[in-house]
Structures are given as C-alpha cells and as structure tokens.
A and B are shown apart, each in its own frame.
Chain A
Amino acid sequence: MTKKYNGEASGYPLREEGLRKRPRAGEILIQSILFFAGFFSIFTTLGIVYELGKEALLFFRTPEVKLWDFLTGTAWQPHINQFGILPLVTSTFITSAIAMTIAIPLGLAAAVYLSEYATEKVRKTLKPILEILAGIPTIVYGYFALMFVTPLLRSIFGRDVVEIYNMASGGLVMGILILPLVASMSEDALNAVPLALREAAYGLGATKLEVALKVVFPAALSGIAAAIIVGVSRAIGETMIVAVAVGAGPNFTFNPFRGAETMTGHIVRMSGGDLSYDSIDYNSIFAIGLMLFFITLTLNIISQRIVQRFREVYE
C-alpha cells in the first residue's frame, strides 16, 4: 500500500557509506552478551533436571531400592533399607490440604472484598498489610507455628490429642502464608473483568453480592483457578514451616494432630547433618527432589495453560 521511500527515484542519490547499515562489532558483542544472559536460565533448568535425574538414577540403581516399593511403600526408614515414599507424600498432601482449606476461602473472600467492595482508601491500607504478610520469611512463620499455634491447638484439643510436632499447626500457618498469594492473584483477575459487565448486571436489578458472585466471579474464574493452583504448588514446595513445626520423622498417618515429615522437611533434615556424597541418603534426597520438582512443575504448567486457554477476552 505505501511506497517505500526511494532516495534515487526522488532525485537525491544516496551517499554510499553514509546511510548504509554498517556492521558494528560493539553492538553485536553486546547483543551476544545479552543473549547469553537471557539463555542462562535454560542452563538452570537443564542443571536441575540433569543433576536431580542423575543422582535419582543412582538411587534407583542401588539394589536395596525398587521403583515399585518406592512408589507404594508405606515406610521410609533408610537405616533398614525401606524406601517407601508414601509417608512423605501423604503428609505433604495433608499439610497442603489444611493450608488450602484456610487459604482458598479466606483468600477469595479477601479478593472479592478488595476488588468489589473496598473503597480506594481502605484498599490502599489493607493491600500493603497483605503484602507484608507475604513478605515475611517462612522461617518466621515456622517459629510462629511452633511457639504460638501449636500451644493454642494443644490447649483447645488437649495435650494428649495434639502432639508437639503436628501437621495441623504447620498446615494452618502455611494457609496464612499462602492467603495473600491467592488473594492478590485472584484480585488481579477480578479487576480485569470490565466494568461494563458489572453495569449491565446492575441495570438488570442485581444486588452488589449478585454482581460480585454471579457475574464478576465466573468471568474471572480462569485467573482464580490459576491462583489456587499456584497456591497448591507453593504449599507443596514450602519447607521451613513444616521443618520447624511438623517434622518428627517419617510417619504414615492421616491424623493431622500427629507429627510427620513432608518431602521438603525430610530433605532439610537429611541435608542438615553431614551428608557424605554418593551415600544412599545423599542420592535419596535427589530422588525426592526430582519428584517434588515434577509435581510443582506440572501444577505450574497447568495453571499457565488455564490462564491461556480459558481466559475470557473482553474487547
């Protein structure tokens, strides 16, 4: 459609060297350095997959370990060569489930409040507080779980019911940690819903609650689902809270008031001591790490896919 400007045709001959694109060594060098910086993260991923895979392979090669027993065994006792990962997996899922039963309802309610109800002034005070909550190091939450929540639970349910190290206290505090994450991601999703939808609903006579729950919330569902999945992934990978407040050795139990050890907690405890290279303990933390990596990676990819696939695009 548009004609390209042609110097010669318009009667001004181009000076040969002046406007021609010269190769500039400096520019190319800088671009290569920047490309390396961009590509570097690929090395990180390759490093994770290679190192975890290599050591995990060594772990499964040892005669004491059988893949089937690893996946289905209910006892993790390395000193008598029992490597069943189920006790670690169940406690990981129990603590995460407790955390999510706190974080999902509270996080979503907070998101709806901040996005649909709060005045600008209230929002500006409440949101930073949630952000502070998200910025506190997890070891501090661990301390809080052990020194405050566990005694609280023990005084409510009885000291013989609740053990000093228990999954409930770790899970509850983990829920508080994840609450701001779910709230802030969901709030972004709710905010992205165009005002026209709300106005149309009001025009039909809907109340504020009906607009929020029946119009805005469904429209933002993909973003909310993504937030929840990221929250779950965070809960599964969370380490210090469970290491401080839950961890008491692998324990195959479904009772939240008993102590147990999650995958992350086990890795921390094993590597806290002096771990000698190429021992079966050393290799086992890589096998557990690999499993953890794949679980969280799958969840993160699902979350990204949901956002991409089901996002309602307005205008």
Chain B
Amino acid sequence: MSASPAPLGPFQDNLPRRHRLGAVWQWIFFAATIIGIFVLSALLLDILNESFGYVALEARVDPDTLAVDGVPLEDLPKEELIRILQDSLSASAFNKLNDEKPFEERSQANVYDLVIERVVKYKVLETWSLWESLIHSDEIRAQAAEEFPQAELRFVSWLTVETIRRPQSSEAVNAGVRTAILGSLWTIAITILVAFPLGVGAAIYLEEYARDDWLNRLIRTNINNLAGVPSIIYGILGLAIFVRALERLTSGAVFGLVNPTTANGRTILSAGLTLALLILPLIIINAQEAIRAVPQSLRKASLGIGATKWQTIWAHVLPNALPGILTGTILAVSRAIGETAPLVVVGASTAISFDPNLFSRFTTLPIQIYQWTSRPQGEWRHLAAAAILILLTLLLSLNATAIVLRNRYTKRF
C-alpha cells in the first residue's frame, strides 16, 4: 500500500482545519475563564488604589500654634490638652464632653483626638489616589503648593486602626467605621439566632420526616423559589412587617423600653429579622444536602438497636451532618453580611455616632460603603474603599473558615 489515501481523502483534507479550529477555540475558552481573574485583580487593585494617597488638609487652627514651649501637640500632657479644649470650646460643649466621659478617666490619646476633632478641625481640600501619588508626586506637590498654600500635604492611609476604632463623623478624616462594624455584628447575631435553628429544623423535617405528599412538595418548591427572590423584596417585606406592623416589638416598646432615639421600628432587630428571612432558604437547602449525605446505614443501625427516630437524628444524623451544615450556614451568613439593599429599605440610618444596641437605629458596613460612595466629595470615596477592605477581610476570613471546616471535618462515607 503506497501513498493512496484516496478513500480517506476528504476526511484527511479536513483534519488540519478541524484541529486548528479546536486549538483556537480552546484558547478562547481559556481566555474567557481567565477574564474572571483579571476582573478580580482589577477590582482589588482599584480598591487598594483608592485606599491610600496624598491628601491636602487645611486646619482651622494650625496645630503648631498650639504647641507649648516647643513641645509638639501630640506630646503634650493630658492637662495641657484639656486646657486647650477648655479655652477653645464653649462651656456647654466642654461640659457635654465631660458628661459623656469624665476627663479624668480619658486617656491622653483620647483627649488628643478630641483636640484634633474639635479644635484643629482638619478639612480635606483635595485627595489623590495611590497611583497618582506614586507616579506624579512632584506634580501633586506643585499643584498643592499653588492651589492650597495654607494646606498641609500629607500621605495618608485611609485604612488605619483609627478608622476601625472611631465612630461616624462629619469630616472624612475623623470618621471611622466603629458603629458600622458593631451594627453589622449585632444584625448578624440576630440573623444567626433566628435563621440557624429554623433552617436546620426545616431541613431535618424535610429530609427525615416529610412524606412525599402535596404539602411537602409545595414546601420544597416554595423554598427553591424563595431562594431566587431578589433581596430587595425581602427588604420591602421587612419594612411592611417588622418595621411597621410589629413596631411595638421591634422598637422595644413591648419590653417597656422607651428608646430615646425614637427609631420607630427601624432598629437592629428589624434588620436582623429581615436578613434571617433572606438567608433562611439558603440555610435550609445547604443543610438538606448535608443531611442527605449521611448514609442510610447509620440510621438503620441506630433504629435497629431500638433508638427512637429523634434519638437517631440527634445522636447520629446531626453530628455527622454538622460540618456540612455549618459550612452552608457560614456561606449564607457571609451573604447576609454583604447585603445592602434590604437594609436600605428597612431603614438603616447613616449618621450614627453612638454604639448601637438591639433597639436602636443602626448602620452596617455595606450601608456605610453605599452612603459614602454616593457622596460626591472624593474623600468619602477613599473612606468607602477603606471600609470595603475591612468588609472583604471579614468575608474572606469567614469563607476561609468554611473551607477549612469542609476540608477537615467532612466525612466521606
């Protein structure tokens, strides 16, 4: 048989083209997958870029003029700082600060913060992103010297320990996310307390007890549909039910608590309950899968030695399903932490400078990010970037916990 590929001719003629086509498409498929990584990096870099950079600050009172005998302001003893406060503030404002926390009990650092916030009063004139600050630092200096001769040009990190420690403020340089973080934690605590037992209970019922009749089919279909309802609808539901109809409960009036801040039901409790409704279907679906993965033989063995149904579930099914249930719950909770829309509708406030409690007005991290992003002034957007970094760190550590749980404790049967 010499070279006579006649019968195979058309087939082989085609072959190089088909292989070329295959190679091209493989490359296209790969590129599409990689785009996700590109966007993720662009997103993170953009946020980092906005979190650091030069700021032109103008002080109402130059801190250098407040120095006493050549000792710079930040090194002054507490008594001197208190004297500065007393001289610069009105008597009533000074007494109000003293009422919040007596000056004797305040630390030097705290009083220094007060002097900066109340007396020096920095005002942001212009901000630059990290990229601009690194590449064009000379131009920025020149521009700042020309446009804002009085201002001080400073390279700042918008994300500092101070940002986390400080409450809301009307000036971006003094504002922090303390109240937002506390609000998020409170809200999530309520969400977990309500959604976890309800969700796991529902999953146990559906997997272990429910017969395949119309009612249980309805419940199952309903849960699947609820998982697809947009989160903002839950917000509207929360507004109508928790904020409005159950106002006496959610504002704390039922418990005889009259809230001085008059939250009108727009409280942390309402927010937590709304988010609980939102993640309930997710928790149920995840817990169902975890329970389903527990092999039937375990149940049969337990029932066979005379355990009741509940004893079997409690002693054998749940312990074996727990890692899966917890992983699913953590993922659902991290979804709740990042939710913004329903809380806007439920009525999160933004200017909160006090530590929230169950029945007080509230703000959360995503709400704060939303509000700061919506403001036209650049400095707030830098602060929003810092808050995003905090939020992402929180979520990333939660997700890492979920992955560790899944890998370490999930049993394969």
Query: Which residues on A are within 8 Å of B, measured CB to CB?
Result: 24, 26-27, 30-31, 33-42, 44-45, 47-48, 51-52, 55, 105-107, 109-110, 112-114, 117-118, 126, 129-130, 132-133, 135-144, 146-148, 176, 179-180, 183, 205, 207-210, 213, 230, 233-234, 236-240, 243-244, 264, 267-268, 271-272, 277, 285-286, 289, 292-293, 296-297, 299-301, 304
Contact = CB atoms under 8 A, between A and B. Distances in A.
Nearest to A113: B29
Interface in B241-297: 241, 244, 277, 280-281, 284
B205 A34 contact: yes
16 contacts: A30-B310, A34-B204, A38-B219, A41-B223, A45-B222, A52-B233, A135-B334, A135-B335, A138-B338, A141-B43, A142-B373, A143-B369, A143-B384, A148-B46, A176-B39, A239-B231
Nearest to A176: B39
Interface string B13-49: 0000011011001101111110111011011001100
B236 A267 contact: yes
Contacts of A183: 33, 36
A300 B33 contact: no
Contacts of A48: 229, 233, 237
B73 interface: no
A139 B219 CA distance: 32
Interface of B: 11, 18-19, 21-22, 25-26, 28-33, 35-37, 39-40, 42-43, 46-47, 50, 197-202, 204-206, 209-210, 216, 218-219, 221-226, 228-233, 235-237, 239-241, 244, 277, 280-281, 284, 308-310, 331, 334-335, 337-341, 344-345, 347, 366, 369-370, 373-374, 381, 384-385, 388, 391-392, 395, 399
Contacts of A42: 218-219, 222
Contacts, number: 256
Contacts of B36: 106, 110, 126, 129-130, 133, 176, 179-180, 183
A213 B347 CA distance: 49
A300 B222 contact: no
Q: Is the interface of A mostly helix, strand, loop or mixed?
A: helix
Contacts of A52: 233, 236-237
A219 to B, nearest CB: 18
Given A30-B310, A237-B232, A289-B233, 14 more contacts: A37-B199, A41-B222, A48-B229, A109-B31, A110-B36, A118-B33, A137-B340, A146-B373, A147-B381, A209-B21, A238-B230, A243-B341, A296-B228, A297-B229
A34 B202 contact: yes
A264 B240 contact: no
Contacts of A209: 18, 21-22, 25-26
Contacts of A34: 201-202, 204-205, 209
